[in-house]
Amino acid sequence: MVRAAEEQEQRQREAEARAAEQARQRAAEQVRLRAEADQRAAAEVAAAERDNAVREEMDRLRKSGGGL
């Protein structure tokens, strides 16, 4: 009877350890996904800034009569 209880406790500890490891892996994956999303957002901002700079330069050239 004592042995069965000890085995049950051991199985419980193992199950808890597996659950904790899975939670850790999910958290790490969420961190990775957030970092990727941040990188994509930064790339989009940089692209928009480049587009705006080109547009502003084209407007400046047009206004100064030096268009393409």
35: containing domain: 1-68
What DSSP string runs through 5-66? HHHHHHHHHHHHHHHHHHHHHHHHHHHHHHHHHHHHHHHHHHHHHHHHHHHHHHHHHHHHT-
The per-residue pLDDT for 65 is 85
The per-residue pLDDT for 7 is 95
pTM beyond 0.85: the answer is no
The residue ranges of the chain whose pLDDT is under 70 are: 66-68
